Amino acid sequence: MPSQFNSGEILSIIMAWIVLSVAITYQSLVGSFTGTRSLDVVIAGFVATATGFILHEMGHKYVAIRRGYIAHFRLWIWGVVLTISIVTLSGGGLVFGAPGAVYITPAAAAVYGYDSGRGIVDPEEDNMIISAAGPGINLAFAIGFLLLSLSVPAGFLSTVAFYGLLLNVGLGSFNMLPVSLLDGAKIFRKGIPVGLGIAIPLWAMFIIFNFII
């Protein structure tokens, strides 16, 4: 199967990763230049963004390709501008994280010679499965980072686990809201049990780690 990656897309992914990583670690990144904050937080932020955002989007892309669709990540320039502007003006207190997303279109067979061999397809079911891939990855990484945080002493790994957990829970929980254009709306429209299976643990962890602990 020919690759659906190109140099422009890879550059867009890297740029989105850097922009969002800098945004969520802005306060620590600025502080690190004066030696007042540890770079551990900045590194942890980049790791968290790689799992919570980049792999979320690549999950959509991979599953879409496997089901016979064309899928490309596109940088949203206005999203990049808003992300940088808001985090700078707020001093890192507010983050708007939408530097880009995976866009999906049908008929990959006609363009790339890919044949999924699935015969008759249900576009709504495909949409649900492709949409579930992103927050599903967030849930898996959230659980993984939670287990890591419980098994390592305070230090670099615990910092990585902390940021990875919060970012994956935050992005996953938000994307699972049954609101138009978000993953949750596409998932719940076709499969409520699937939606609840992903959403409930993410929402529960979001409430616990943001309002209880």
pLDDT tens for each residue of 164-191: 999 999 999 999 999 988 999 999 999 9
Dist. CA 192–CA 190, nearest whole Å:
7
Long-range Cβ contacts of 24-28 (<8 Å, 24+ apart): 24/48, 24/49, 24/95, 24/97, 24/163, 24/167, 26/87, 26/88, 26/91, 26/92, 26/95, 27/91, 27/92, 27/93
Phi, psi of 100 (to 5 degrees): 170, 175
Residue 11 class from Cβ within 10 Å (0-12 exposed, 13-18 middle, 19+ buried)? exposed
Q: What is the pLDDT of residue 58?
A: 96
Q: What is the pLDDT of residue 4?
A: 73
Q: List the end-to-end C-alpha distance of the chain, in Å, as a whole number.
A: 47
pTM of model > 0.85: yes
Dist. CA 149–CA 144, nearest whole Å:
9
Q: What is the pLDDT of residue 37?
A: 53
What DSSP element (H or E) covers 114? none
The ranges of the chain with pLDDT < 70 are 1-3, 31-37, 107-120
Q: What is the pLDDT of residue 120?
A: 57
